[in-house]
Structure 1
Amino acid sequence: MSTANFGDTREVTAPADFHVHLRDGELSKLVTPHVREGGFYLAYVMPNLVPPITTTEMANEYKKRLKEYSSQVEFLMTLYLSDALDPNDVKNWKAAGIVGVKSYPRGVTTNSDEGIESYDKYDELFKEMEKHGIVLNLHGEIPSDHSKNICVLNAEERFLPVLSNLSIKYPKLRIVLEHATTAAAVQAVIACGDNVACTITAHHLSLTVDDWAGQSFHFCKPVAKFPEDRRALREAIKSGNRKFFLGSDSAPHPTHSKSTATHMSGCAAGVYTSPVLLPLVAHLLDSFGAIDRLADFTSHFGRDFYQIPAGPGAPKVVLQKVHGVKVQAEYSDGEKTVVPFWAGKDLEWQIVDVTQ
């Protein structure tokens, strides 16, 4: 169901992507400018590099490199939850530009080999984060364990009691369940207190299990689930619940690592949406009757939860509904090539103006 006519416009003040992977090295140089190209002025940057970002010095060096690649974007930095984080340092993080800490259960996704196995050991750290306003970002899955009937299709739902327990134990700690994929996750987030919010990706508003089974460029972690789960994500946005906002989880991989799998290893997990993100979100929201939620979902609600207002003079991005703009097939620097989500397909919204 579409609610906008061709030529209709929508305006978003300082669009904000509250979950993005920008990699490092030459790949980062290629993909970082795509944040702005896709319509965004804020990027909440994930720390799962090799080695992971575990100190303020590493985070600030990384941020410096990102600003060299794209000076117009505000980059918010995170640290990788691990034993390397010292609770005594938390009081200094905000002044050093650290906004959050990202938790990866060990082995569940890209560069999570140094992830955690238990949250209990971080009690002191979480209490300090609670005290100093640092956000905890959760990759909400538990590792597959076939002896317990746990696999990629139920790993998120099995994680949800952890979310509930953390939200109760640390009622002043702002917690974000990242990239929700299930109706169960939507209900769990709603059931938690106001200290819990949730990001939803563009690709999970589009895909179901049928779309990634056998299609490597649609494979991500967590995997897209069933049509009823996709429907729940869409309804969460359509409802206007402030707990739900955009975190793209845009995750670039060189084409060869997405298209090649062997008996030793599968294809890389990640869907790349940054270059077309705002028009893509508009296209998808319009398709299920939620285009009027565009500004809330891509700016207002996330900024409110993170307490990062756009401020006076913030840029306003204007989108227009059109008869179709074909998404570029690939992006390349001559050595590395990445394929965006929706490659070769038409989008019915495009960015037509940016005003200051």
Structure 2
Amino acid sequence: MAGFDFATVETIELTGVFDAHVHLRDGEMAELVVPTVREGGVNQVYVMPNLVPPITTVEQCLAYRERLRAIEPNVDYLMSLYLHESMTPETIVEAKKAGVWGVKSYPAGVTTNSSSGVVDYESFYPIFAEMERQDLVLNLHGEVPSTPSHAPITSSSSDRAVTVLNAEPAFLPTLAKLHSRFPNLRIILEHCSTAAAVAAVRSCGPTVAATITAHHLSLIIDDWAGDPHCFCKPVAKTPEDRDALLRAVVTSEGKFFLGTDSAPHDVRKKRGEDRVAAGVFTQGWAVGYVLDALAKGVERGVVAKEKVTREVLEGFLGKWGRAFYKVQEPRGETVVFTRGKARVGEVVRREGLGVEVVPFRRGEVTWGVEWK
């Protein structure tokens, strides 16, 4: 199958996109961002559970789904639970019966709303064993918490200081251990940001896959170091890591697929409270960002033009994620993306709401979206 020539192609028609990792928040923020799902060409999403308080019970999960459906009924919401010490194997059985699709693990304190997260994975082995039996997906935020600045730095590789730059590589032995202990448990390493993570996922069996965000396909360290609206967890890394992600998209073979990790923060809180909140908002233009990143990758010689085929785009943007989750395209829809027909807003706002969000690549031109 011939690849797309981004120098000449004007439109690309695809099936409705599946975004396998979104943060839709709740309350006014959900009212603001949930409509941007379809605006971005997506009709099916896997929803993160790190609300405040986190979604730890099936009852909370189903109620949250109904609130999202009330805002935008033309999106299929796949729901997840937050891995928490209050969970039991019976929770997993109940979740399976109720149509919940997975459980998200956050290392304690590593990112937004993760203070109730995991300290010791082995204590959750009975939960993982039941998830394996029930065929639920384990979603891993693949980082370890950073070493406090006052802690001594040792020469031991196993005790080396952890920063935002090596927090993901430091987690990869945990991925390997979990896969070895539960070989039939479907595991997704979320939002890969390093070449090491790509290699680690490839080294695992078919029950392990990974998501790649739209923003990690273009960002590097220098971008977020100067712009809080490009700061996320895991942080973008080196040019070599970014290029490894681009190559993973076009050589995925089903192991890598889109999970935007689109994470909105109110503009007043993004760099407020003496800290920068982790999260990049990409939802309304995410597919355009992916197409733009691939076009630049071809231009720079990182990926070969003939590798960016319709099969690859439909795979990365929907087919491969749906296959891993064992779900179908929900609405039989197609969407047309047209070069240069959209301009990213300076801010996302809606009348009557008291929150606003600054999107990724604000003010720039990207691909427009039209549903058919």
TM over 0.5: yes
Structure 1 length-normalised TM: 0.94
Indicate which of 237, 255, 272 corresponds to 1:225.
237
Indicate which of 348, 354, 358 corresponds to 1:339.
358
Any gaps of 5 or more consecutive residues in structure 1?
A: none
Contact map agreement 1:11 1:295 (CA 8 A) in 2? no
Kindly report the root-mean-square deviation, in angstroms, between the aligned alpha carbons of the 2 structures.
1.6
Pair 1:341–1:38, CA change in 2 (3 A): same
Instruction: Give the Å deviation of 1:341.
Output: 0.6
Specify the alignment match of 2:198 in structure 1. 186
Specify the alignment match of 1:160 in structure 2. 172
Distance 1:136 1:187 in 2: 19
User: 1:135-162: CA deviations, max 9, x gaps?
Assistant: 0000000011154321100000000000
Contact map agreement 1:105 1:112 (CA 8 A) in 2? yes
Instruction: Give the Å deviation of 1:278.
Output: 1.8
Partner amino acid, structure 2, of 1:269 = A
Greater shift, 162-171 or 276-285, is seen at: 276-285
1:276 is aligned to 2:293: no
- For residues 1-356 of structure 1, the aligned pairs below 5 Å read 3-145=5-147, 147=153, 148-260=160-272, 262=274, 266-289=275-298, 291-292=308-309, 293-310=312-329, 314-322=332-340, 325-333=342-350, 334-347=353-366, 349-351=367-369, 353-355=370-372
Distance 1:38 1:321 in 2: 14
Instruction: Give the Å deviation of 1:346.
Output: 1.5
Contact map agreement 1:12 1:299 (CA 8 A) in 2? no
Structure 2 length-normalised TM: 0.90
Partner amino acid, structure 2, of 1:299 = G
Instruction: Give the Å deviation of 1:267.
Output: 1.1
Greater shift, 89-98 or 244-253, is seen at: 89-98
Question: Per the alignment, in what secondary structure is the counterpart of residue 12 of structure 2?
Answer: strand
Contact map agreement 1:250 1:271 (CA 8 A) in 2? yes
Instruction: Give the Å deviation of 1:2.
Output: 7.8
Any gaps of 5 or more consecutive residues in structure 2?
A: 154-159, 299-306
User: 1:85-104: CA deviations, max 9, x gaps?
Assistant: 11023223123121000000
In the TM superposition, structure 1's runs of 4+ consecutive aligned residues that sit over 6 Å from their partners are none
User: 1:261-306: CA deviations, max 9, x gaps?
Assistant: 52xxx11100000011122222222322364222111101101111
Percent identical across equivalent pairs? 47
Question: Per the alignment, in what secondary structure is the counterpart of residue 198 of structure 1?
Answer: strand
Distance 2:164 2:30 in 1: 28
Partner amino acid, structure 2, of 1:82 = H
Question: Per the alignment, in what secondary structure is the counterpart of residue 331 of structure 1?
Answer: coil
Instruction: Give the Å deviation of 1:7.
Output: 4.8
Instruction: Give the Å deviation of 1:196.
Output: 0.3
